[in-house]
Amino acid sequence: MKKLFLIGIAALTFVGCNKKSEMKQGPWLGVIQIDPADKSMDLPINMNYTLSSEGFPQMVITNAGEKITIDEITKYGDTLVMKLPVFTSEIKAIIRNDSLIGNYFPKGIAAGNSYKFYALAGVIDRFPWHTTEASFNVTGRWKVIENPGTADSTIMVGEFIQTGNKVTGTFLNTTGDYRYLEGKVSGNKFFLSAVDGAHTFILTSELTDQKTMENGRFLASPKWSSKWRAVRNDKIELPTSEQLVRVKKGFSTFDFSGIDMNGQTVTSKDERFKGKVVAALAGGSWCPNCLDEARLFSELYSKYKDQGFEVVALNFEDKTFEPSKKKMERFIKQTDANYTFLYVSPRGGAKRDSVLYPIEGQMAFPTGLILDRKGSIRRVETGFSGPGTGEHYTKFVDETTKLIELLLSEK
């Protein structure tokens, strides 16, 4: 299969650019080369190309239980441009019937920086160049040590489900989770990957036995990489939000202000928030965990808004409002977020700390505050473990729903 990929790339090199080609419908395997000098970390993506009932092209990316539909697709001549939803990533490639070759732009074509990309039609296996039967089963909970033995060493939790060679799961840390990861075990080698428009993740390691992973590697960009190892540990737990962040002494309420999508200044003192239970969610349109959070709070807002529940997103974006507005509008439209969004500040730790002035500790994006009808802070939560984390997400939804209902019942 590795030979097949090499032949496919070589064939593309010698085909004339004026040859008209059409995309084959059905499964495709895309590959992003984050580091061209290290083919062992080529990042695979399962894709499926179809036409909608109206005849419009669609490409669906699958990461475990997540399906991402790309419907912003432009074709001119033999060139295809696909803009991934919510975020700014784009793929631009030359079509050669059963092959694509081009570039993946993580910040969009206009930003310029890109990785090499190619794809072959008809390939379903996510890691087709690794076909050995699995020697071990990784199903379970693992203590993951990132950058072991260094000053940057941190603890994460890996949770995986393996069926045959196929593995799905995620990594959880204090900022949230790595969302939906999918891959396989081949022999004693372990592989996971994901592409969702914000993340480009590939993780590899070697299983030395049923309880140990060594020589782990993580790559998300040329500047974002690390080493890791893991040991099976069903009882490993991460610090709770209460252990990470807290309300500072002397503070009990939270005031906010920002610019809404109409360019108007909105503050917590406005009539729309008076006497309401308010969830204030600090994040950004660039934040993948904020995507999962937005989808949840859209549901909660729809369910409880008539009872006095308000949600406001406090977005940390670009240096000025206008370019930020475009990104926020795209985020709102494609997540169906139905509550108030405010531009509050450019990104940065100091800016975040200034806006979230009553809070101290190890804050991450997103960080959420829930205020009661009197404006008192009743909960602070940092990071977000989304639906890709299974029972952790279910527990968070249950606890959050119960808290909202409790606060709404208070007069």
Q: Which tokens belong to 91?
A: 């793929």
Residue 10 has pLDDT above 60, yes or no: no
Residue 7 has pLDDT above 50, yes or no: no
Asked if CATH classification 3.40.50.300 holds for the domain at 140-232, the reply, yes or no, is no
Residue range 12-71, pLDDT digits in tens? 433 334 445 688 999 999 999 999 999 999 999 999 999 988 889 999 999 999 999 999
Residue range 199-257, pLDDT digits in tens? 999 999 999 999 999 999 999 999 999 999 999 999 999 998 889 999 999 999 999 99
pLDDT at 21: 66
pLDDT at 22: 81
Asked if CATH classification 3.30.470 holds for the domain at 2-121, the reply, yes or no, is no
**Where are any strands of DSSP class E within 320-409?**
340-346, 359-361, 367-371, 377-382
Domain positions in the chain? 2-121, 140-232, 241-409
| Amino acid identity at 389 | T
Residue range 239-252, pLDDT digits in tens? 988 899 999 999 99
Contacts of 291 (CB under 8 A, 6+ apart): 86, 198, 331, 335, 386
Residues in the chain, total: 411
Residue 9 has pLDDT above 90, yes or no: no
**HSE-up of 262 (CA within 13 Å, CB side)?**
4
DSSP string across 46-65: EEEEEE-TTS-EEEEEEETT
- Report the phi/psi class of residue 122: left, alpha or beta, with left for phi > 0 and alpha for psi in -120 to 50: left
Q: Which tokens belong to 115?
A: 């990785």
C-beta of residue 341 within 8 angstroms of C-beta of residue 309: no
Residue 6 has pLDDT above 60, yes or no: no
pLDDT at 97: 80
- Report the phi/psi class of residue 380: left, alpha or beta, with left for phi > 0 and alpha for psi in -120 to 50: beta
- Burial label for 237, CB within 10 Å (0-12, 13-18, 19+), is exposed
Read off the DSSP letter of residue 95: E
Share of the chain above pLDDT 90, in %: 90
Lay out the sheet containing 277-283: strands in order across: 265-267, 257-259, 340-346, 309-317, 277-283, 367-371, 377-382
DSSP string across 250-301: T--B---EEE-TTS-EEETTSGGGTT-EEEEEEE-TT-HHHHHHHHHHHHHH
Would you call 74 helix, strand, or coil by DSSP? strand
Instruction: Tell me what the mean pLDDT of segment 186-191 comes to.
Output: 98
Could you tell me the fold of the domain covering 241-409? Glutaredoxin (3.40.30)
Distance CA 411, CA 199 (A): 43
pLDDT at 19: 46
| Residue among 387, 293, 295, 305 at smallest CA distance from 335 | 295
Instruction: Tell me what the mean pLDDT of segment 57-86 comes to.
Output: 95
Distance CA 369, CA 350 (A): 18
| Residue among 49, 39, 35 at smallest CA distance from 5 | 39
Same-fold call for 2-121 versus 140-232:
yes
Question: Cβ atoms within 10 A of the Cβ of 347, count?
Answer: 16
pLDDT at 11: 39
Instruction: Tell me what the mean pLDDT of segment 307-336 comes to.
Output: 96
Residue range 88-105, pLDDT digits in tens? 999 999 998 899 999 999
Residue 5 has pLDDT above 50, yes or no: no
Instruction: Tell me what the mean pLDDT of segment 378-387 comes to.
Output: 94
